[in-house]
Amino acid sequence: MLWPLFFLVTAIHAELCHPDAENAFKVRLSIRTALGDKAYVWDTNEEYLFRAMVAFSMRKVPSREATEISHVLLCNVTQRVSFWFVVTDPSRNHTLPAVEVQSAIRMNRNRINNAFFLNDRTLEFLRIPSTLAPPMDPSVPIWIIVFGVIFCIVIVATALLVLSGIRHRRRNNKGLPGLDDAEDKCENTITVENGIPCDPLDTKGGHINDGFLTEDERLTPL
Amino acid sequence: MEKTRPQWGNPLQFVFACISYAVGLGNVWRFPYLCQMFGGGSFLVPYIIMLIVEGMPLLYLELAVGQRMRQGSIGAWRTISPYLSGVGVASVVVSFFLSMYYNVINAWGFWYLFHSFQDPLPWSVCPLNGNRTGYDEECERASSTQYFWYRKTLNISPSIQENGGVQWEPALCLTLAWLMVYLCILRGTESTGKVVYFTASLPYCVLLIYLIRGLTLHGATNGLVYMFTPKMEQLANPKAWINAATQIFFSLGLGFGSLIAFASYNEPSNNCQKHAIIVSIINSSTSIFASIVTFSIYGFKATFNYENCLNKVILLLTNSFDLEDGFLTASNLEEVKDYLASTYPSKYSEVFPHIRNCSLESELNTAVQGTGLAFIVYTEAIKNMEVSQLWSVLYFFMLLMLGMGSMLGNTAAILTPLTDSKVISSYLPKEAISGLVCLVNCAIGMLFTMEAGNYWFDIFNDYAATLSLLLIVLVETIAVCYVYGLKRFESDLQVMTGHALNWYWKAMWAFVSPVLIVGLFIFYLSDYILTGTLQYQAWDATQGQLVTKDYPPYALAVIGLLVASSTMCIPLVALGTFIRNRLKTGGTASVA
* pLDDT higher than 60, residue B128: yes
In a domain, A112, yes or no: yes
Q: What is the pLDDT of residue B435?
A: 92
Asked if B186's CB is within 8 angstroms of A161's CB, the reply is yes
DSSP state of B375: I
* pLDDT higher than 70, residue B81: yes
Asked if A134's CB is within 8 angstroms of B325's CB, the reply is no
**Section A126-140 average pLDDT:** 74
At residue B507 the predicted structure's pLDDT band, cuts being 50, 70 and 90, is: very high
Q: Is B296 annotated as a binding residue?
A: no
* pLDDT higher than 70, residue A158: yes
Are B322 and B239 in contact by the 8 Å Cβ rule? The answer is no
Chain B nearest-CA distance from A4, in A, is 33
At residue A188 the predicted structure's pLDDT band, cuts being 50, 70 and 90, is: very low
At residue A184 the predicted structure's pLDDT band, cuts being 50, 70 and 90, is: very low
Name every chain A residue with its beta carbon within 8 A of the beta carbon of B1. Answer: 180, 183, 188, 190
Chain B nearest-CA distance from A65, in A, is 28
Q: Tell me, what amino acid is at B54?
A: E
Distance CA A111, CA B309 (A): 32
Assess B187–A contact: CB distance below 8 Å, yes or no.
yes
Q: Is B22 annotated as a binding residue?
A: yes
Alpha helix locations (H) across chain A? 2-16, 31-35, 44-59, 98-107, 109-115, 142-175, 177-185
Beta bridge partners of B203: none
In a domain, A187, yes or no: no
Give, in degrees to the nearest 5, the angle at Cα B534 between B533 and B536. Answer: 140
In a domain, A205, yes or no: no
Strand pairing category for A123-125 and A82-87: unpaired
pLDDT: is A13 or B159 the higher one?
Answer: B159
Strand pairing category for B535-540 and B545-550: antiparallel
Find the distance separating the first CA and the last CA of chain B, reported in whole Å. Answer: 36
Kindly state the percentage of chain A with pLDDT values over 90: 12
The Cα-based distances of A123 to A31, A55, A82, A104, B126 in angstroms read: 8, 17, 10, 16, 22
Picking from B319, B302, B322, B301, the residue whose alpha carbon sits closest to that of residue B355 is B319
Q: What is the pLDDT of residue A187?
A: 44
Least confident of A207-221, B522-536, B543-557: A207-221
**Section A124-139 average pLDDT:** 75
Chain B nearest-CA distance from A90, in A, is 32
Assess B1–A contact: CB distance below 8 Å, yes or no.
yes
Are B253 and B259 in contact by the 8 Å Cβ rule? The answer is yes
Asked if B176's CB is within 8 angstroms of A154's CB, the reply is yes
Using the 3D structure, point to which of A70, A101, A125 is the last residue of a domain.
Answer: A125
In a domain, A210, yes or no: no
Name every chain B residue with its beta carbon within 8 A of the beta carbon of A80. Answer: 318-319, 322-325
Closest residue to B114, CB basis, from A132, A143, A189: A143
CB atoms closer than 10 angstroms to residue B588: 9
Q: What is the pLDDT of residue B261?
A: 92
Q: Are residues A156 and A110 in the same domain?
A: no
Q: Is B406 annotated as a binding residue?
A: yes
Q: Are residues A101 and A164 in the same domain?
A: no
* pLDDT higher than 70, residue B589: no
Tell me which of B5, B126, B317, B325 to substitute to probe the interface with A (most A C-beta atoms closer than 10 Å): B325
Q: Are residues A26 and A109 in the same domain?
A: yes
**Section A184-202 average pLDDT:** 53
The domain tally of chain A equals 2
* pLDDT higher than 70, residue B3: no
Are B256 and B98 in contact by the 8 Å Cβ rule? The answer is yes
Asked if B114's CB is within 8 angstroms of A80's CB, the reply is no
Q: Tell me, what amino acid is at B372?
A: G
Distance CA B10, CA A1 (A): 108
Q: Is B23 annotated as a binding residue?
A: yes
Q: Where are the beta strands (DSSP E) in A22-147?
A: 25-29, 72-75, 82-87, 123-125
| Residue B535 host element (H or E) | strand B535-540
Assess A165–B contact: CB distance below 8 Å, yes or no.
yes
Closest residue to B176, CB basis, from A29, A33, A147: A147
Asked if B125's CB is within 8 angstroms of A135's CB, the reply is yes
Containing structural domain, residue A106: 12-125
The mean predicted confidence, pLDDT, of chain B is: 88
Q: Are residues A56 and A147 in the same domain?
A: no
- For B442-453, b where at least 16 C-beta lie within 10 A, e where not — what string? beebbbbbbbbb
In a domain, A46, yes or no: yes
Picking from B313, B323, B421, B8, the residue whose alpha carbon sits closest to that of residue B188 is B8
Assess B431–A contact: CB distance below 8 Å, yes or no.
yes
Q: Are residues A90 and A166 in the same domain?
A: no
Name every chain A residue with its beta carbon within 8 A of the beta carbon of B318. Answer: 80
**Whether the bond into B120 is cis, omega within 30 of 0:** yes
Closest residue to B318, CB basis, from A39, A80, A183: A80
- For A66-91, b where at least 16 C-beta lie within 10 A, e where not — what string? ebeeebbbbbebeebbbbbbbbbeee
Beta bridge partners of B450: B166
Give, in degrees to the nearest 5, the angle at Cα A67 between A63 and A73. Answer: 130
* pLDDT higher than 90, residue B173: yes
pLDDT: is B132 or B499 the higher one?
Answer: B499
Name every chain B residue with its beta carbon within 8 A of the beta carbon of A82. Answer: 319, 322
* pLDDT higher than 60, residue B283: yes
Please name the residue of chain A whose CA is at the shortest distance from the CA of residue B114: A143
Asked if A80's CB is within 8 angstroms of B325's CB, the reply is yes
* pLDDT higher than 70, residue A59: yes
Are B409 and B253 in contact by the 8 Å Cβ rule? The answer is yes
Q: How far is CA B574 from the centre of its chain?
A: 32
**Section B96-124 average pLDDT:** 92
Tell me which of A143, A189, A199 to substitute to probe the interface with B (most B C-beta atoms closer than 10 Å): A143
Distance CA B388, CA A116 (A): 31
**Section B497-505 average pLDDT:** 88
Are B20 and B405 in contact by the 8 Å Cβ rule? The answer is yes
Name every chain B residue with its beta carbon within 8 A of the beta carbon of A29. Answer: 325
Alpha-carbon torsion B209, B215, B216, B220, what sign?
positive
ipTM of the complex: 0.83
Q: Are residues A163 and A59 in the same domain?
A: no
The number of CA neighbours under 13 Å toward the Cβ of A135 is: 20
The 3-state DSSP class for residue A208 equals: coil
* pLDDT higher than 90, residue B109: yes
Least confident of A71-80, A174-183, B296-305, B561-570: A174-183
In a domain, A200, yes or no: no
Beta bridge partners of A124: A28
Q: Are residues A98 and A147 in the same domain?
A: no
Q: Tell me, what amino acid is at A70?
A: S
* pLDDT higher than 80, residue A183: no
Of the ranges A124-128, A148-152, B232-236, B264-268, which is most confident? A148-152
* pLDDT higher than 90, residue B178: yes
The number of CA neighbours under 13 Å toward the Cβ of B444 is: 16
Assess B329–A contact: CB distance below 8 Å, yes or no.
no
In a domain, A7, yes or no: no
Q: Are residues A106 and A20 in the same domain?
A: yes
Q: Are residues A141 and A121 in the same domain?
A: no
Q: What is the pLDDT of residue A135?
A: 67
Q: Are residues A77 and A99 in the same domain?
A: yes
Distance CA A158, CA A153 (A): 9
In a domain, A220, yes or no: no
Q: What is the pLDDT of residue B425?
A: 79
> Quick one: CA torsion of A173, A176, A177, A178, rounded to 10 degrees?
-170
Q: Tell me, what amino acid is at B379?
A: T
Chain B nearest-CA distance from A3, in A, is 33
Distance CA B28, CA B378 (A): 11
> What pTM does this model have?
0.82
Supply the DSSP string of B89-109, one letter for each residue: HHHHHHHHHHHHHHHHHHHHH
Assess A151–B contact: CB distance below 8 Å, yes or no.
yes
Using the 3D structure, point to which of A93, A125, A157 is the last residue of a domain.
Answer: A125
Q: Are residues A20 and A109 in the same domain?
A: yes
Q: Are residues A52 and A121 in the same domain?
A: yes
At residue A22 the predicted structure's pLDDT band, cuts being 50, 70 and 90, is: confident
